């Protein structure tokens, strides 16, 4: 089964950037690109219990009408989704992708991606979904659930595309981040893009040894790499380094018990991702 770059799109303001980053990744990886749109058809009628307000016959008639309305809404959502997928493909072709594919599914995004994850090499999705304009200070709940469910790299993107020119890897010597280094070393995604490896912690012999290993692995694979060890609070230290060095893509591990990987468990990560102005590649 061919692993592909899969881009989840909806009607949010993030979808154009999702298209552009997915096209960039598809071309860099030499992997097929598929756009995915999921129609969530949760019935609306179940939310209304009108039995105490109207007679039985009237209630049955109203519920029948509401059911018909749900069906109409589902058809409209599917039609809108097909138009979105068509527009996404046209945008990807303009970006240089030869034959992008599309998929439309009914259900929830998380369940759909869990079913498809064996086909996914990289998932691209926006920070927030269709209600982003209503909750600009909140991280999309779908994103958090997807990160916890999927065992594939996930590229979370902001609402403006910028071709990455400098990448920062938040590194702590854990198995997850060592695998991240090995993935970066062998992946064509960041060919020709300088990689900054940052350890947040004390200047110890172990940290220095870990950093040297990461830099050697990247350089031996042909990457331009530099690294540093900085003391401080993880989120703030990474954010400052990012600003100082014009980093435009952050790579980090998703789960674990170290200070960096713990970010995606508590409020610190939620805050970091919410404030992120650059794409974040999350590794499992």
The per-residue pLDDT for 217 is 95
The Cα 98–Cα 92 span in angstroms is 8
Strand spans (E) along the chain: 4-8, 33-39, 101-106, 120-126, 154-157, 167-170, 195-200, 225-230, 249-253, 280-283
Q: Model's pTM, two decimal places?
A: 0.82
- For 168, the 3-state DSSP assignment is strand
Beta strands in 32-172 (DSSP E): 33-39, 101-106, 120-126, 154-157, 167-170
What pLDDT, on a 0 to 100 scale, did the predictor assign at position 80?
Answer: 85
What's the pLDDT at 97?
Answer: 95
**pLDDT for the residue 66:** 74
Q: What is the pLDDT, as a whole number, of residue 119?
A: 94
Report the pLDDT value the prediction gives residue 262, as an integer from 0 to 100: 45
Q: Tens digit of pLDDT per residue, the chain (284 long)?
A: 568 999 999 888 888 999 999 999 999 999 999 999 998 765 444 444 544 555 555 677 777 777 777 777 777 777 888 899 999 999 999 999 999 999 999 988 899 999 999 999 999 998 765 544 444 434 456 777 787 788 899 999 988 999 999 999 989 888 878 888 998 898 899 999 999 999 999 999 999 999 999 999 999 999 999 999 999 988 889 889 999 999 999 998 765 444 444 444 444 455 566 777 899 998 87
Element containing residue 21 per DSSP (H, E): helix 15-29
Q: What is the pLDDT of residue 267?
A: 45
Residues in the chain: 284
User: Helix or strand or coil: residue 133?
Assistant: helix
**Beta strands across the sheet bearing 280-283:** 101-106, 33-39, 4-8, 120-126, 154-157, 280-283, 249-253, 167-170, 195-200, 225-230
Nearest to 25 by CA among 178, 182, 167, 224: 167
The alpha helices in 117-233, defined as continuous H runs, are: 141-149, 175-186, 205-220
C-alpha dist (Å) from residue 218 to 25, 29, 193, 208, 227 = 19, 17, 11, 16, 11
pLDDT score at 221:
94
Q: What is the pLDDT of residue 163?
A: 94
């Amino acid at each position: 089964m061919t692993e592909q770059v899969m881009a989840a799109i909806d009607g949010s303001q993030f979808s154009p950037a999702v298209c552009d980053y997915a096209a960039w990744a598809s071309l860099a990886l030499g992997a097929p690109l598929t756009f995915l749109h999921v129609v969530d058809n949760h019935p609306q009628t179940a939310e209304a219990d009108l039995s105490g307000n109207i007679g039985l016959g009237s209630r049955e008639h109203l519920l029948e009408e509401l059911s018909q309305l749900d069906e109409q809404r589902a058809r409209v959502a599917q039609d809108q989704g097909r138009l979105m997928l068509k527009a996404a493909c046209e945008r990807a072709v303009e970006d240089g992708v030869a034959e992008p594919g599309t998929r439309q599914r009914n259900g929830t995004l998380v369940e759909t991606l869990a079913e498809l994850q064996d086909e996914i090499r990289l998932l691209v999705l926006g920070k927030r979904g269709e209600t982003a304009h209503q909750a600009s200070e909140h991280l999309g709940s779908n994103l958090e659930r997807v990160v916890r469910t999927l065992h594939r790299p996930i590229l979370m993107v902001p609402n403006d595309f910028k071709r990455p020119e400098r990448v920062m890897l938040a590194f702590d010597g854990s198995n997850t981040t060592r695998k991240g280094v090995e993935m970066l070393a062998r992946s064509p995604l960041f060919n020709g893009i300088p990689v900054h490896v940052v350890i947040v912690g004390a200047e110890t012999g172990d940290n220095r040894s870990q950093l040297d290993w990461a830099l050697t692995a990247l350089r031996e694979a042909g990457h331009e790499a530099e690294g540093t060890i900085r003391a401080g609070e993880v989120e703030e230290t990474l954010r400052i380094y990012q600003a100082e060095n014009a980093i435009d893509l952050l790579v980090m591990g998703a789960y674990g018990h170290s200070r960096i990987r713990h970010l995606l468990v508590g409020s610190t990560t939620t805050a970091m991702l919410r404030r992120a102005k650059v794409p974040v590649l999350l590794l499992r």
